[in-house]
Chains A and B, each alone.
Chain A
């Protein structure tokens, strides 16, 4: 498959009164045409900052892209001027922002907000655009679109606003769609409908999708590959089967273990102990060490490199080193890994890359 986006060694920092917040610290990933890459990870781990940096939407100052390349169809977006970027945003690449209220204009009717992009980027006239708006609102499951398009955002429920934002992003058939928590405010039936819609459009236009979510059920449903972020870095990446059936990083274990299952009883839910590291002074060694019950001496001293588990699967944890003790993931995670043997290679040691 052809690489649509190739991000290399991306570093993003914010200069604040307290010092330099190193929000993204050397991130590498790619997205192919027709592929969905899910990014998961703790709140504050840098998911939104990474994707906003791709679109050059980091407020500068205080933010800045310190280092790295963002190759989109071979062109380095990090080097483009604001004017050149404007032609790409909302046309070749569109983004669904995490907070639907901040990306909608409270004083403008919903229909007009969707029409704007259609008229600007798709060169439609008003009548065509209005017709398309009705179609789009119908597609995202808003009943009675004719009268709804004349309402203001505050007259919509939380989830309806989110669907409007999705409609705006899909309006221009982007080559790359960045969706930051696009379904968090939706019930599961409407969510399923939106996910199907995104997949349909992807099939038709062969677009690449970056999907940020904390709902691991949604990840299992939409993702081809998954990148797990922790403290500004990708700590594990693999196919969706690699990550769910053969996870290697203890942080990934923690994430998978925190989800209640429908038959879990009254026991307390598992939560990863402690809090994320301070990105003003990222710790030496493995940033997850302080919260990792499997941490070894070396985790406190030296940062783990990415170890290769298989051609598709990489993880940055010293547990994959040939001299590391053989550690089993917690029971709660193992129970979820049932299908692993058939789906992913389960070698316990990695090869350093």
Chain B
């Protein structure tokens, strides 16, 4: 993995007006980079703004404030249609719900080829067919499936159709919003193995949004933890699990249910109480360990550094 930046998210805000005087600050000042070829995992409390972040990056929403740079170019700036089309091709999204995100009246072939048609990627019908068949095989389906409709597939197969559709336009960046939550564990394993293989073969970059922390750790290089529209911690996957620093991250990791009934009967959970924070100043994102950032005040920073700052090589 290089340290070359593919996506740069700068002070991104997405505020929804929900009434005459009420505003939901779904995303409130996010800053992070995604490197070429990495998988950036995004986790956090339900409703903290993960989907909104993904949807705003890919421009399903106009950002309230801030910018998103892709290969150094601003995605949200005024663009002519040709430029927009180019971005649309480079960035694809796999949606959370494999049932709702495929048009039930379209054949699998046309679902997968839709993006290719829009971008004129196939010269003729023959090339289009060949490309669809190749994609079906890539995701572990077979070419006979091209003429079927979505309802004839199981959940896992449908999710793979969604992946084939995203891959059809040769993107370099894929936002996967809970791509595996609806699947059973064995199919989850198939899909995750597939995503990893495709990444190695095509140098893809992923933003991977998920709840299942053991899966996120397994697939991600770095992980960002969100809480109420803000990033509270960002670190290498291993370091985050070995040294969670922000109390919200600690509570998250202490709540993972494990497939071990004895352990579950005796488990202790650590609950996060936001009112325990130091409020003497606005918290800032600070580097507590190398590459390991935490949202904290100066006082908290000193404390975190003492507790967690020492880097041991174990």
Contacts and interface: CB of A to CB of B under 8 A. Distances in A.
Interface string B232-265: 0000000001000000000110011111111110
Contacts of B264: 217, 220-221
Contact of B185 (A192, A216, A262): A216
B261 A261 contact: no
A258 interface: yes
B154 A44 contact: yes
A101 B100 contact: yes
A190 interface: yes
A158 B51 contact: yes
A256 B259 contact: yes
B262 A339 contact: yes
Contacts of B162: none
B194 to A, nearest CB: 10
A98 B304 CA distance: 41
Contacts of A219: 259
Nearest to A156: B47
Interface residues of B, number: 56
Contacts of A99: 97, 99-100
B19 A272 contact: no
B213 A188 contact: yes
B122 interface: no
Interface residues of A, number: 59
A215 interface: yes
A323 interface: no
B269 interface: yes
A264 B181 CA distance: 20
Interface string A169-191: 00000000000010011111111
Nearest to A40: B184
B260 A339 contact: yes
A187 B252 contact: yes
A244 B260 CA distance: 7
Contact of A184 (B45, B182, B217, B261): B182
A276 B154 contact: yes
B18 interface: yes
Contact of B188 (A151, A160, A240, A258): A258
B215 interface: yes
Contacts of B184: 41-43, 214, 255
A77 B62 CA distance: 52
Interface in B134-190: 154-156, 178, 181-190
B46 A158 contact: yes
A260 interface: yes
A43 B159 CA distance: 12
Given A158-B178, A189-B255, 14 more contacts: A42-B186, A147-B19, A163-B46, A186-B211, A189-B45, A189-B252, A191-B255, A214-B184, A215-B185, A261-B214, A268-B193, A271-B189, A272-B186, A275-B154
Please give me the 5 A-B residue pairs with the lowest Cβ-Cβ distance, nearest first. A159-B46, A217-B257, A269-B189, A271-B189, A216-B259
12 contacts: A158-B46, A158-B178, A163-B46, A185-B178, A189-B271, A191-B255, A217-B264, A220-B258, A260-B218, A262-B213, A264-B214, A269-B189
